[in-house]
Structure 1
């Protein structure tokens, strides 16, 4: 039986949130895929490496990592049944035979000790209930000298998403996000403390930028963003929020798409 301690996130990713990501996998990959090369280059994957993709979601990074290790293998781990089903289907469709997917809570999942050469994550590593324990478990899964490379969000005000968030009506309660949510690792100082506490060394964080494609036009992009989990959770499904986001997307329409400047922290460390 799969042990899950992060029950709140398990509920979200096996409910609305996971279903939205699975149904819109191509949209989310278009939004986040511009960061793939920076992540995979930082991971320095070799042809025989064994790769662990934490919070793999629909599995794009797992498949790309597997292709970089034709004599090795990549394993994606996630809480979300809908997204794992999509990941397996896409791996089969693309013929990536050395990519496998497991359901598990990376905080407690029984990874084989020293079973991986490198662990990666593209925005799937910000949701742990106990991040020090979780990264400690990931560290144990890496061989001595094994590498960790992951992407996490910067504060929205530091990129074009800030203009979108500024268009939203004020909340009458604190938003979700900082504790076990998308912005939980947005402070590099906190990342340093967490990874150091988990036993990693050589921790480094650098800001990277990428173009993010949100849709063909402002209407499509605004409606899509209104369905993103944190927006859906905090604001519901009212027309006011959707219409505000559509208008906020209009300045970013160019060359047949809505294109935003995205930023992320690229974090690397070693066991």
Structure 2
């Protein structure tokens, strides 16, 4: 990675530019399908007009960036991420969809020089929870947003409200999830007071959080969902003795069967739609 990375984000780079990023790139369609019921509401909140200049933070394989580009037909979109594999996939998909107003760069948004007051709106769909120094990161993003511009994030609510996390972690380890008290993790922006204080200190104002609850898709049937979930949580399973691993997978399959619907396997989830002004 040629662009500089803050020392506090080195471990995130190692994960997202390594096996974790590779898995997300290989399963990009499934991850997009998983949060599909949040996606439209999230993009609508961004209020992207035809001439907008948009920054997509932690863009992954670029679905949000590409859909933003379709709205900003006379503007442009820049998607950034630490994962070279997802950035390359995002470029391929944008080229396939003949989108000429979207670009992707592998950079650390915490320290990258985006320029001053360049963007009308900055967005992040579950990509802004992993900064080593969140205050520095959002301060850097704030500098890149024009006065009156907007920040729109989708982040997870506290873990106990996320049915699929609680279910999978408990079934595969025998214990409920215990999120880290601090540091980069999916729950680092799950507490409203923390989010308001952080974004205000970083230079944003009028910070608002709106609670959303939507079912998340995990597969067309039990076999499909089990393949995905066990691959995503392979680290938990490999730590178990073989007999316990077989038991855990059997219990997982039974739980997945209870969540089978005519449209696939779904589990409840809860997210915050975060909106703020520069």
Q: How does 1:183-202 map to 2 (within 5 A)?
A: 183-202=187-206
- The residue number in structure 2 matching 1:164 is 168
Distance in 2 separating the partners of 1:48 and 1:71? 5
The offset of 1:42, in angstroms, is: 1.0
**Conserved 8 A contact 1:213-1:259:** yes
1:264 corresponds to? 271
The 1:178–1:166 alpha-carbon spacing in structure 2 relative to 1, beyond 3 Å, is farther
> Is the contact made by 1:164 and 1:248 (CA closer than 8 Å) also made in structure 2?
no
Q: Which runs of 5+ in 1 are unaligned?
A: none
Determine if contact 1:157/1:163 at 8 Å carries over to the other structure: no
Show structure 2 runs of 5+ residues with no match: none
Q: Does 1:56 align with 2:59?
A: yes
Query: Per the alignment, do residues 148 and 83 of structure 1 end up closer, same or farther by CA in structure 2, a change over 3 Å counting?
Result: same
Within a 5 Å distance, the mapping from 1:71-220 to structure 2 comes to 71-161=74-164, 162-170=166-174, 178-220=182-224
CA contact (8 A) 1:153 1:183 kept: yes
After TM superposition, the structure 1 stretch with the greater mean CA deviation from structure 2, 141-150 or 210-219, is 210-219
**C-alpha separation between the residues in 2 aligned to 1:246 and 1:117?**
46
Instruction: Flag the 1:209–1:174 CA change in 2: closer, same or farther, 3 A.
Output: closer
Alpha-carbon offset, residue 244 of structure 1: 3.6
> Which residue, 218, 225, 231 being the options, matches 1:221?
225
SS at match of 2:5: coil
The alpha-carbon distance between structure 1 residues 36 and 12, as it changes in their structure 2 partners (threshold 3 A), is same
> How large is the RMSD of aligned CA atoms in angstroms?
2.0
TM-score normalized with structure 1 length? 0.93
Instruction: Give per-residue Cα distances to partners, 1:88-123, cap 9 Å, x unaligned.
Output: 111111111111101100100110211100000100
Q: Compared with structure 1, are the counterparts of its residues 50 and 87 closer, same or farther at alpha carbon in structure 2 (3 Å cutoff)?
A: same
Classify the secondary structure of the residue corresponding to 1:167: helix
Q: Distance in 2 between matches of 1:110 and 1:242?
A: 46
Whether the 8 Å contact between 1:49 and 1:118 is mirrored in structure 2 is yes
- How far apart are 1:219 and its partner, in Å? 2.5
Question: Retained in 2: the 8 A contact 1:45–1:65?
Answer: yes
Q: Cα offset for 1:33?
A: 2.0
**CA deviation after TM superposition for structure 1 residue 148, in Å:** 0.1
2:35 aligned counterpart, secondary structure = helix
Tell me, yes or no, if structure 1 residue 31 matches structure 2 residue 34.
yes
Instruction: Work out whether residues 153 and 182 of structure 1, in 8 Å CA contact, stay in contact via their aligned partners in 2.
Output: yes
Deviations 1:143-183 (A, max 9, x none): 01110001011123213223333323246x96658520111
Count of residues paired in the alignment? 269
C-alpha distance in structure 2 between counterparts of 1:51 and 1:237, whole Å: 42
For 2:121 and 2:181, locate their aligned partners in 1 and report how far apart those are by CA, in whole Å: 27
The TM-score, its normalising length taken from structure 2, stands at 0.91
1:2 and 2:6 matched? no
For residues 39-54 of structure 1, the aligned pairs below 5 Å read: 39-54=42-57
Asked if 1 retains the 8 angstrom alpha-carbon contact of 2:216 and 2:267, the reply is yes
Q: Give the Cα separation in 2 of the matches to 1:242 and 1:123.
A: 27
